[in-house]
Amino acid sequence: MTEAKKHILIVDDEPRMLRFVRMNLELEGYQVSTASNGMEAIEKVRDELPDLVILDIMMPEMDGYETLERIRQISNVPVIMLTVKAEEEDKVRGLELGADDYITKPFSPRELASRVKAALRRAEMPSPGQKTTIVIDEDLAVDLQRREVLVRGKRVKLRPTEYRLLYHLVNNAGWVMTHETLLSKVWGYEYRDDTQLLRLYITYLRQKIEPDPSHPKYIFNERGVGYRFVDFRKGQTQEVNSASSRQPDSRSD
């Protein structure tokens, strides 16, 4: 099994632009999905958890700025704004709302590929001094750089697939991740129906991090739907500095 392809969501109300961007990104080897309006984009960000969003600004009803604001309420996915507007104030507004980059139409396939690669690379490359160890509670911490967990102070090494699974669960703590989403993110789209494989790796992960794997306190089964990691962000849990640097979602071996 190889690493899942990076998943990019394209949001644009122009069918020709959707086809153009999709074709060029698929030629670069990405998994691509599309949305033609803001509401559809928000639903797909929530349900499909893309690695990157390319978002057009000039859309009817809900424009790209409002869509970006709504996306930022539920996700920190990298977003590249796509628009015919080139004025500085428009770019500044998008960046202030949480966009990661800006491409002005018209653009070449080469520029598109370069911007996408750079945005994904920035998402995976930590900044100096960035926090890398996430403390879940007094018994469990996750070292995002070393791909290890600390269980009651003892370092436990995860296999690459176990790390990818834990990474997606932790970064979506408190949310139910469907079987299909986890399988697509960790193994690839072609494995999205293999729930037995997912159950097996959930078992492996629980055996490494749970005090009692038969009565989990971190990874919960939402019967018939998927899995949910305990919502540790509410309240007492905080991130602590590590000598290493952080790597955000997907995002992995």
pLDDT at 184: 83
Q: Which residue has the higher pLDDT, 85 or 143?
A: 143
Residue 220, pLDDT > 60, answer yes
pLDDT at 131: 56
Look over the chain and give the mean of its residue pLDDT values, rounded to a whole number.
Answer: 83
Where along the chain do its domains lie?
7-124, 133-240
Residue 239, pLDDT > 90, answer no
Q: Is 54 within 8 Å of 10 (Cβ atoms)? A: yes
Question: pLDDT digits over 75-110, tens only?
Answer: 878 899 988 866 677 777 887 787 888 888 889 999
Domain 133-240 fold:
Arc Repressor Mutant, subunit A (1.10.10)
Q: Is 83 within 8 Å of 90 (Cβ atoms)? A: yes
d(CA 82, CA 39): 17
Lowest-confidence range among 71-75, 135-139, 248-252?
248-252
Residue 243, pLDDT > 80, answer no
Question: pLDDT digits over 43-67, tens only?
Answer: 999 888 899 999 999 998 899 999 9
Measured in residues, the chain has a length of 253
Q: Which residue has the higher pLDDT, 139 or 236?
A: 139
d(CA 48, CA 178): 9
Question: pLDDT digits over 158-184, tens only?
Answer: 887 888 899 889 888 888 999 998 988
Edge-first strand order for the sheet with 7-11 is: 31-35, 7-11, 52-56, 79-83, 101-104
Tokens for 144? Answer: 């995002």
Tokens for 206? Answer: 């629980």
Task: Calculate the alpha carbon distances from 56 to 48, 104, 135, 185, 197 in Å.
Answer: 19, 10, 37, 25, 37
Calculate helix-pair angle for 109-124, 15-27, nearest 10 degrees. 70
* Residue 244 per-residue DSSP state: S
**Class in CATH terms, 7-124:** alpha beta
Question: pLDDT digits over 186-196, tens only?
Answer: 887 777 888 98
Average pLDDT on 146-169 reads 86
Lowest-confidence range among 33-47, 148-162, 227-241?
227-241
Alpha helices, H only, the chain: 15-27, 38-48, 64-74, 88-96, 109-124, 160-170, 179-186, 195-209
pLDDT at 118: 82
pTM strictly above 0.75: no
Nearest to 53 by CA among 116, 126, 124, 4: 116
Q: Is 64 within 8 Å of 56 (Cβ atoms)? A: yes
Q: Is 45 within 8 Å of 7 (Cβ atoms)? A: no
Average pLDDT on 143-153 reads 83
* Residue 224 per-residue DSSP state: T
